[in-house]
Structure 1
Amino acid sequence: MALNIVIMAAGKGTRMKSATPKVLHKLAGRPLLSHVLGSCEAFTADARIVITGHGADQVEATVAAPGISFVRQMPQLGTGHAIQQVVPALVGEGTTLILNGDVPLIETSTAKALIEACAGAALVLLTVDLFDPTGYGRIIRDPEDGGVLAIVEHKDASPEQRLIHEGYSGMMAAPTGALKRWVGALTNHNAQGEYYLTDIVAMAVAEGLPVLGIKAHSETEVLGVNDPVQLAQLERAFQAQQADRLMRAGLRLADPSRFDLRGSLTHGQDCEVDVNCVFEGHVELGDNVRIGAHCVIRNARIASGARIHEFTHIDGEKAGASVGEGALVGPFARLRPGAQLGAEVHIGNFVEVKNSTLAAGAKANHLAYLGDATVGERVNYGAGSITANYDGANKHRTEIGPDVHVGSNCVLIAPVTIGAGATIGGGSTITKPVGAGELAVARGKQVAISGWTRPAKKR
């Protein structure tokens, strides 16, 4: 039986007061529409169609992927009008699942329940019991068998109908052949002069087709986004769900209300995360990892026993970043793409590491930069020292052997190699290779001038 998945994403989102199309505003770091597409990735569909309109070029460019097609709704004259535009693209005579691009937290299990209940033969509506149903179409049920008789839009509802707390979520599954027939018969004789998709309920009832109402697991699952306030509320609700799931799996969060996950996070046993930490992309934590307050960690692997101190930023981007077992990072440290720290490495305050490998036991404890470098075991890299890895056109590598001691305020101008056990005197600018065990000092001779007087300000 053919399955069509249709996602309505044509609205302007006027109340967002933004040049960005509403469905591209982000929840947990991803566009609202991407969440909806992700919820139905598990289904084998004959067609996946996104209906675009306002900002269509931007929306389509953002979510374009193999197997996704687009149909434009211009102008936007209601939900029924949107489905009218997609009718020529619907495949077969099976089931069409209709979702909303601005309702991001629809669960895969709920979408599956709609598809299975429809089975190409029944109209199935996703409903929800709402504390405040203002703005939602009301579900009118048959008092005898509980079947759905109609959906009345909030603006068209009578005072008695507005007392009903069961609302229509805007999502449904319908027999494809019947859906095509019904939307072709829609009219716009209503308060808004629009074509309401909800009017097909009365058509199905008139034909004697079963009309079922399946309730969502929670109100959060069907909440839409119409303005920045609702977006922020949904963000917190979603983060609370993620925090609860992680804590039940054993992760210890100091305060789940001050936790943000904008991607995926896996963890071992006895991991602790302090307040106001943000995880993005894919982050892996081994056992006994401690994350201090106010850290931002993106696309990184942190091995068992590592400690990430407060205010540390780790951003692996596509290259990734890794922290070895028992390593100490921060506070106020920055690991950039390609930073690979071995076991027991120490990266201290205001140290930046980019595209560099530090072997076991290496230390850069203060105010330093390591870029495009290979650092051997047990190296001690002094405060204020940097690798000058960029010549204005190309990047070059610095090779530092094991047991090297680099004094404070040194500049290693790449490409350069420092041999095992060498020592670089403080304040040196190194431009040539240094052999194993050698002491290299490259600085001007100190001069003391007696009788010198500091200039005074003119009065």
Structure 2
Amino acid sequence: MVLDIVVMAAGKGTRMRSARPKVLHRLAGESLLQHVLRTARALAPSRIVAVTGHGAEAVEAACAAPDLAFARQSPQLGTGHAVQQAAPLLDDAGVTLILNGDVPLIEVATLEALIDACGGSRLALLGVKLADPSGYGRIVRDGDRVRAIVEHKDATPAQRAIDEVYTGVMAAPTAALKRWLGQLTNDNAAGEYYLTDVVSLAVRDGVEVVASDAPTEVEVLGVNSPLQLAELERRHQARQAERLMDAGVRLADPARLDVRGELVCGSDVEIDVGCVFEGRVEIGDDVTIGPYCVIRNASIASGARLRAYTHIDGEALGVEVGAGAMVGPFARLRAGAQLGADVHIGNFVEVKNSTLARGAKANHLAYLGDATVGERVNFGAGSITANYDGVNKHRTTIGDDAHVGSNCVLVAPVTIGAGATIGGGSTIGKDAPPGQLTVARARQTTLAGWRRPTKSR
């Protein structure tokens, strides 16, 4: 069966009080629209059409992809008018699924069930029962049969008492949907072309209309204001926390966790309060994450310990933390950092595009950029690799068992031999031989009779 998906993304979102199009506001690190498109792609459709309108250029630029077509709605004359713009791109032989770009958390299984209910011949509606249905279109039934959807502003008092509402999601045989779209009128309180009017047109044509309710309310909640966005964020994060705890992860406080991507955890993982995970993060068995860590695009091996306020940002290259490594507090690992087993990275140490072999240590106030560091190296407090000459980056290589004293500058490209010792306060611009002490600093001098200047009166 041919499946086309139409995603409604034309609305202005006036109540957001923002110049940014509503569907580009972010939930869990991604735009609302990207959430919907990811779910749509999981259904393997023949085509996805996003209907844009307000801020169309920004919306289209933000989500452009080879498998995504766009249809412009200008002016915005209602939901039915929006789908009319996409209709020429839809295959008459298939089924069309209509989604909303501001309803980000709908599940693939829910949509698969709706498509099955359509079966290529029925109009299938997704509903939900709400304690407060204000503002939503009501599903009007005659027994089990759906007769119409009535928008809130057009509903009678008796219809407003109905608690089953239409979520804006439907699946329909495409040829029939196109016919109904051509028959819509704007004879209503808003003067708009309502997509919901296709229900009464289907009933008139003798097409069976079916409705089923979403398994959970959170799947079908939309976003119309910053308050609703914040509430949905917390509900989404609560679901993420519950999923993690069901898998055995110990969260110090489930209410103080933010997963803004994909977090995969092994067994006996402990995560303290205030941690943020972005992109794809993999955590091995028996890992402890201290409070207020931010981790993006990283792999943390079994037995590692990340102490408070550690910041890891792997960007596109990723970061790897080896088994039994200890990082932090207040450490920063940047893209390309690869820590071997039992590596120690301490407070106010930054590592970028560098490999540290087993047992290497940089415990205080240091910078390792574009470096290859051998096993059991000790990199002293206040020492740095000077990797940038103003134009190009250069690499520093430090052999196994080398010791770099405090407040040293290693000016790349440079190699420190295995077992070498670099005296504290040295600036090293030439290779240091293995197994020997290398010192590069001015001779200490004391000036007898020198007096400190005093202020003139």
Q: Same fold (TM over 0.5)?
A: yes
Answer yes or no: is 1:287 the counterpart of 2:276.
no
Answer yes or no: is 1:222 the counterpart of 2:216.
no
Greater displacement, 36-45 / 204-213: 36-45
> Which position in structure 2 is the counterpart of 1:417?
415
Secondary structure at the aligned position of 1:82 is classed as: helix
Greater displacement, 263-272 / 393-402: 263-272
> Which position in structure 1 is the counterpart of 2:306?
308
> Which position in structure 2 is the counterpart of 1:322?
320
Secondary structure at the aligned position of 1:36 is classed as: helix
Greater displacement, 35-44 / 378-387: 35-44
- CA distances 1:175-201 after superposition (whole Å, capped 9, x unpaired): 111111111111111111110011111
Aligned-pair distance for 1:448?
A: 1.5
Aligned-pair distance for 1:18?
A: 1.3
Secondary structure at the aligned position of 1:226 is classed as: coil
> Which position in structure 1 is the counterpart of 2:453?
455
Rounded to whole Å, the distance in 2 between the matches of 1:51 and 1:161 is: 30
1:181 to 179, 182, 195: 179
Answer yes or no: is 1:206 the counterpart of 2:204.
yes
After TM superposition, the score normalised by the length of structure 2 is 0.98
Q: How does 1:372-451 map to 2 (within 5 A)?
A: 372-451=370-449
Rounded to whole Å, the distance in 2 between the matches of 1:105 and 1:433 is: 57
Aligned-pair distance for 1:62?
A: 1.6
> Which position in structure 1 is the counterpart of 2:108?
108
Which residue identity does 2:112 align to in structure 1? K
Rounded to whole Å, the distance in 2 between the matches of 1:322 and 1:104 is: 31
Secondary structure at the aligned position of 1:264 is classed as: strand
Secondary structure at the aligned position of 2:434 is classed as: coil
Aligned-pair distance for 1:458?
A: 4.3
Secondary structure at the aligned position of 1:48 is classed as: strand
Aligned-pair distance for 1:161?
A: 1.5
Secondary structure at the aligned position of 1:394 is classed as: coil
> Which position in structure 1 is the counterpart of 2:7?
7
> Which position in structure 2 is the counterpart of 1:138?
138
> Which position in structure 1 is the counterpart of 2:34?
34
1:345 to 336, 343, 346: 343
1:172 to 155, 158, 170: 170
Secondary structure at the aligned position of 1:126 is classed as: strand
Rounded to whole Å, the distance in 2 between the matches of 1:313 and 1:136 is: 43
Which residue identity does 2:56 align to in structure 1? A
> Which position in structure 2 is the counterpart of 1:44?
44
Aligned-pair distance for 1:255?
A: 0.6
Greater displacement, 87-96 / 315-324: 87-96
Rounded to whole Å, the distance in 2 between the matches of 1:457 and 1:270 is: 64
> Which position in structure 1 is the counterpart of 2:149?
151
> Which position in structure 1 is the counterpart of 2:261?
263
Which residue identity does 2:20 align to in structure 1? T
> Which position in structure 2 is the counterpart of 1:193?
191
Rounded to whole Å, the distance in 2 between the matches of 1:124 and 1:154 is: 20
Whether contact under 8 Å (1:5, 1:45) holds in the other structure is yes
- CA distances 1:141-166 after superposition (whole Å, capped 9, x unpaired): 113xx111111111111222211111
Answer yes or no: is 1:118 the counterpart of 2:118.
yes
Whether contact under 8 Å (1:94, 1:119) holds in the other structure is no
Secondary structure at the aligned position of 1:257 is classed as: coil
Rounded to whole Å, the distance in 2 between the matches of 1:21 and 1:249 is: 37
Rounded to whole Å, the distance in 1 between the matches of 2:342 and 2:47 is: 52
Rounded to whole Å, the distance in 1 between the matches of 2:213 and 2:454 is: 82
Aligned-pair distance for 1:174?
A: 1.0
Secondary structure at the aligned position of 2:263 is classed as: strand
Aligned-pair distance for 1:455?
A: 2.5
Which residue identity does 1:3 align to in structure 2? L
Whether contact under 8 Å (1:2, 1:92) holds in the other structure is no
Which residue identity does 1:14 align to in structure 2? T
1:272 to 233, 250, 270: 270
Rounded to whole Å, the distance in 1 between the matches of 2:148 and 2:308 is: 56
- CA distances 1:279-310 after superposition (whole Å, capped 9, x unpaired): 11111111100000000001111111000000
Aligned residues: CA RMSD: 1.0
Q: Which runs of no fewer than 5 residues in structure 2 stay unpaired? A: none
Whether contact under 8 Å (1:295, 1:313) holds in the other structure is yes
- CA distances 1:264-287 after superposition (whole Å, capped 9, x unpaired): 111111010000000111111111
Aligned-pair distance for 1:408?
A: 0.4
After TM superposition, the score normalised by the length of structure 1 is 0.98
Rounded to whole Å, the distance in 1 between the matches of 2:158 and 2:239 is: 35
Secondary structure at the aligned position of 1:164 is classed as: coil
Which residue identity does 1:74 align to in structure 2? S
2:251 to 253, 258, 268: 253
> Which position in structure 1 is the counterpart of 2:60?
60
Rounded to whole Å, the distance in 2 between the matches of 1:234 and 1:299 is: 24
- CA distances 1:208-245 after superposition (whole Å, capped 9, x unpaired): 21111110011111000011111111111111111101
Secondary structure at the aligned position of 2:444 is classed as: coil
Aligned-pair distance for 1:119?
A: 1.4
Rounded to whole Å, the distance in 2 between the matches of 1:264 and 1:99 is: 23
> Which position in structure 2 is the counterpart of 1:69?
69
Whether contact under 8 Å (1:292, 1:309) holds in the other structure is yes
- CA distances 1:34-82 after superposition (whole Å, capped 9, x unpaired): 1111112232322211111111121112212222111111111100000
> Which position in structure 1 is the counterpart of 2:78?
78
Secondary structure at the aligned position of 1:151 is classed as: strand
Greater displacement, 367-376 / 449-458: 449-458
Rounded to whole Å, the distance in 1 between the matches of 2:254 and 2:281 is: 18
Which residue identity does 1:191 align to in structure 2? A
Which residue identity does 1:312 align to in structure 2? T
Secondary structure at the aligned position of 1:41 is classed as: helix
Q: How does 1:85-104 map to 2 (within 5 A)?
A: 85-104=85-104
Rounded to whole Å, the distance in 1 between the matches of 2:324 and 2:456 is: 58
> Which position in structure 2 is the counterpart of 1:333?
331
2:240 to 242, 247, 251: 242
Secondary structure at the aligned position of 2:157 is classed as: coil
Which residue identity does 1:419 align to in structure 2? G
Aligned-pair distance for 1:206?
A: 1.4
Whether contact under 8 Å (1:123, 1:175) holds in the other structure is yes
Whether contact under 8 Å (1:7, 1:100) holds in the other structure is yes
Which residue identity does 2:349 align to in structure 1? V
Rounded to whole Å, the distance in 2 between the matches of 1:148 and 1:457 is: 93
Which residue identity does 2:374 align to in structure 1? G
Which residue identity does 2:122 align to in structure 1? A
Which residue identity does 2:52 align to in structure 1? T
